Amino acid sequence: MTSKPGKRYPFADGTRNRFGKSSLGSGLSATNSNTRIVQRGQLQPAPTVVLSAQVSTSVNLGLNSERSRGMMIERLRRQGITDERVLAAMQAVPRHQFVDQGLASRAYEDDALPIGFAQTISQPWVVAHMISLVCDHKIPSKVLEVGAGCGYQAAVLAQLVKEVYAVERIKGLCDLARDHMRQLGLSQRARIMFGDGMQGYPAAAPYDAIVVAAAGPVIPRSLLEQLTVGGRLIAPEGTTQQRLVLVERTGQAAWRREELDAVRFVPMRAGTQI
């Protein structure tokens, strides 16, 4: 994404949320924004839909969320998301419940938003695109998500997939994601684990699909080996310049990869954070 010179980003001085002042401090950047990058001269995404003035609080947004989500779905269609199963799953999940109340009126815009701990909830297009790619041939039965964050993508996956396992390395976000699953009645379908996402979750492997929401210089071998043969993994790869990479396991020791869109994601880190 690009911005006009001199235009101050709305989160330039940070934001406050349920955890206190966000550690995003300097605002969204190329290192903490889960979004697609559109280079100058390339086809631009459809314009962001501006929500009506009366949608200013999470309470009002809750009353209007069906309409707001419908507007988001139509925008996703214009941006090239064609899998109706994925669009229905996105329609079913109230994204405004996964962001801080102060940002709820922006929940259905096509932006990554801060969720605390220098992390973001991914741009709706990114979520829909990644899920569409791993569901292209068939809906997987069991999926691993690396980097659960606040739980939004896991909740969308749970509308499609029987078993979702999501690993989050930051304890505060892990607890938040679990709360969201309970509130939406998804705890049995989407299990949130606290742990090092670079190691995956071997206890439930192999997986039909793996969705990675953080970027490392290379995709960890441990994740590739937890794919079933025929399974797909989608992940951002790179440091200062990142691309989405789609990997399909074609044999016991064989994988096929394809580089896709330029993106920017939070960096993948080893270990856990209490």
Q: What residues act catalytically?
A: 122
Helix (H) or strand (E) segment spanning residue 269: none
Torsion of CA 104, 33, 147, 137, to 10 degrees: 90
DSSP 88-146: HHHHHS-GGGGS-GGGGGGTTSSS-EEEETTEEEPPHHHHHHHHHHHTSSS--SEEEEE
Contact 68, 51 (CB under 8 A): yes
Helix (H) or strand (E) segment spanning residue 192: strand 190-194
Strands 227-238 and 242-251: antiparallel
